[in-house]
Structure 1
């Protein structure tokens, strides 16, 4: 890239979601269902079971094809039906209500994290003698471990366009390297905002005032700090890297040494992208997740952090006192949270500032959280998928003698660009986004929901509420290693 090109804003494109097609416009799974149904129909005819073939095999095949092909709410009918059934079943049994503490049914009387995080445990390890131990969130049943990098974003500092372009390229390179590792499940970047108490600013001012400074100068600086700190929002950010483990690593805990040698490199290299990162400690992780579940404790944890003393809370007690899941929101410790998932990414090209409005503090939204989830394919697997989808696109574009549709031509062009990028060393991955807004009783619930949807529209992103999955969406946007796609469900095998 020349110096003149570096000074121009770069236009980026996410590309189309990866999909395989079979007969006509049907998905590959629908095509397989049709092929299996045809074989059973043929064998039934040969066996003389004509009535069974026409009145059982054909209707069942048509129903299954509809379940895996027709979409409702950005999901196949099979998935939507299962979500409806699971939500009805847990509501009927009272499982949508969570109560913790000494008088609850939680083992040991703890306030454990609910839902996806209930079976996790936090362990500490050391990666450098001069550094405090870092925390790892271990999910033994799934054989996954998550490490957290506490981040300070510097993307809004004054810089030239060329510097912004280079930092964006470094971020892409940092993510692409996880495809080469072969054991990375996902990388989640979380940027959250909350109302600050002003103590952090006041403490910084007290630290920089010299003892011999004139009284008038001290007063001016102190008053200025009070004005700046008034209702000043705080930005919290972290990156969660989830690593897949095998049985041997989990048994002898050799993964601890392995990750300890890698986490320092991850934290150092991401700084080239303008992100100052440090491995998160045990106490930082517990405080971060508990503040998300229990917003009234934010000021307490901020005060404890200023004193330099530990809060003494354990991972087993980092959950909420109570929580209730409804169809449209998740209520916890007196606050209500609404979570959206990205239904559709920007269709056209965009610049590197497209998510700035979503992530920056907002005057009318006190607490919000944006989580970007990147799931890399292994290098070899990504190349295979790109080639297979390109062949599908070529078949779709050339299968008809009539004028080729613009959609088929665009798909062919996109897959061809992906093949060329793969040849130049690019890696393949899937990107998802979750947005959570937490509303306290003094805020207008409907207004906050409207503001979030308008912010997304301004970023050319279509959001969809995670109805009947608000608890799962809330915990996914926390960025502590849990994602919904890895959970085994019946509809996952019938997804189109």
Structure 2
């Protein structure tokens, strides 16, 4: 008789990495923008030396050296001393001009019709409802700006989570999600996508409604007592957790002329493509997936700006709907402070990613920050994606290889430069095999009742994202626009910036 022993095999989790930031390298480890800015200084120094004005020449060179030194040694959280001073000045100008305060409603300013529209970049947005090719309704958000005509749809999902899920299944879900993002770069007219995971305390209305709907008058006293005890004990049970995916389409005319293609044409095109977008999320672990209607978009936007009405909105939804319009979804009062954003009866603070993962990470690296946090009215974690069109990926990969080689030639035996060259070569190989390129960012927003309630989170939030090996910082002097970008409304911030990506890469 023979016996066999089974040895447990440990399955190592799949790791991901090789993330790089497109940038243009300059001389001596400086950025290309700083290197170009030093060219006039060098020319002036040579000119003064040639004319015998030695003091001026050395003075200019000394000032330039001090300026560069301050740029290198005063950088904290990705901001130099010049950047921090600029933020302070911008906030002061904003407060003096009164643009830090938003007042709407019957007693507000700038809203003669008494509406409470969304502030900022979403002030002139429009919301309409259409049906897709399968006859399902969906809300369509239109945001127009200077040469920008973006149309966004919102897809609501209820993720299954990773409990009792095999490692192979998790890796499969990650692969399907990566393929979904890659396809967005191949699709025509996709400006961006975002995934927002929002957690909030449970109001208890869902449990109460479920118990009331199944209550029978002839039920035994014991059964009635048990159900009543359940309602009293677990009324504030598990927190609500919902994920929303926003996809933004480019509405500009395709013939190269300036102008908008129009709401009707875009609704027809998006309605045809929407079932494919929703179906592509089925294998990602998103669970139940469905496009949001206009009423649903209005309701969760209203709750985001005033979380204290969440239970009222939920109760009205159960009884037929809130009846709110898009012009009612915004706050009646908002104040954009340097470190906080006050809106109606709540205060929020947002953090943005300024440095991506420096090494490898796993599929559950963001699990800690995505989990519900007790003591907050709301917490939103938003991943922003901007798929790069397929026709541009080859040029960007080649440019990164050239910049990495140039940066490596500036120093001798630099480990970081060698790693950058290796990463650029690996990216080029993967792109040649059909992989896509996607820019991404992260916004974390927490909402409470007061500033004191949010203070302990100044150190907690950076610690929650630490397992993902990325770094976040407060959105100083930009709390209002960051709060809005973290909402699942499809707002693509780079489309509204004065400086395009091609120029920002120099700095």
Query: Any residues of structure 2 matched to 1:75-224 within 5 Å, and which?
Result: 75=79, 80-107=84-111, 108-128=113-133, 130-139=135-144, 141=146, 142-207=148-213, 216-217=222-223, 219-220=225-226, 223-224=229-230
TM-score (normalised: structure 1): 0.87
Describe the superposition over 1:253-273 as per-residue Cα deviations: whole angstroms up to 9, x where unpaired: 422211111111101111110
Instruction: Decide whether aligned partners of structure 1 residues 226 and 461 sit closer, same or farther in structure 2, where only a CA change above 3 A counts.
Output: farther
Shift, 1:167, TM fit: 0.5
Segment drifting more, 262-271 vs 19-28: 19-28
Query: Any residues of structure 2 matched to 1:445-484 within 5 Å, and which?
Result: 445-484=454-493
Instruction: Decide whether aligned partners of structure 1 residues 124 and 367 sit closer, same or farther in structure 2, where only a CA change above 3 A counts.
Output: same
Shift, 1:41, TM fit: 8.3
Name the CA distance, whole Å, in 2 between partners of 1:454 and 1:291: 27
Unaligned runs of 5+ in 1: none
Describe the superposition over 1:358-410 as per-residue Cα deviations: whole angstroms up to 9, x where unpaired: 1111234342110100111111212211111112222333455x4x1111111
Shift, 1:232, TM fit: 3.1
SS at match of 2:137: coil
Shift, 1:317, TM fit: 1.5
Alignment match of 1:263 (pick from 269, 274, 286): 274
1:434 correspondence with 2:443: yes
Alignment match of 2:389 (pick from 378, 381, 384): 378
Shift, 1:420, TM fit: 1.4
1:16 correspondence with 2:20: yes
Alignment-derived partner of residue 298 in structure 1: 310
Name the CA distance, whole Å, in 1 between partners of 2:232 and 2:135: 36
Instruction: Decide whether aligned partners of structure 1 residues 33 and 443 sit closer, same or farther in structure 2, where only a CA change above 3 A counts.
Output: closer
SS at match of 1:246: coil
8 Å Cα contact 1:7/1:162 also seen in 2: no
Segment drifting more, 253-262 vs 73-82: 73-82
Segment drifting more, 54-63 vs 130-139: 54-63
Instruction: Decide whether aligned partners of structure 1 residues 255 and 81 sit closer, same or farther in structure 2, where only a CA change above 3 A counts.
Output: farther
8 Å Cα contact 1:111/1:317 also seen in 2: yes
Segment drifting more, 228-237 vs 262-271: 228-237
8 Å Cα contact 2:138/2:153 also seen in 1: no
SS at match of 1:119: coil
Shift, 1:216, TM fit: 4.2
8 Å Cα contact 1:127/1:134 also seen in 2: no
Instruction: Decide whether aligned partners of structure 1 residues 150 and 434 sit closer, same or farther in structure 2, where only a CA change above 3 A counts.
Output: same
Instruction: Decide whether aligned partners of structure 1 residues 207 and 54 sit closer, same or farther in structure 2, where only a CA change above 3 A counts.
Output: same
SS at match of 1:250: coil
The Cα RMSD (Å) is: 3.5
Name the CA distance, whole Å, in 2 between partners of 1:378 and 1:393: 22
Name the CA distance, whole Å, in 2 between partners of 1:202 and 1:420: 56
Describe the superposition over 1:67-103 as per-residue Cα deviations: whole angstroms up to 9, x where unpaired: 9988565246665554333211110122211111012
8 Å Cα contact 1:291/1:297 also seen in 2: yes
Name the CA distance, whole Å, in 2 between partners of 1:313 and 1:74: 42
Shift, 1:247, TM fit: 3.6
Shift, 1:334, TM fit: 2.0
8 Å Cα contact 1:325/1:471 also seen in 2: yes
Name the CA distance, whole Å, in 2 between partners of 1:432 and 1:76: 20
Instruction: Decide whether aligned partners of structure 1 residues 258 and 66 sit closer, same or farther in structure 2, where only a CA change above 3 A counts.
Output: farther
Alignment match of 2:415 (pick from 406, 413, 418): 406
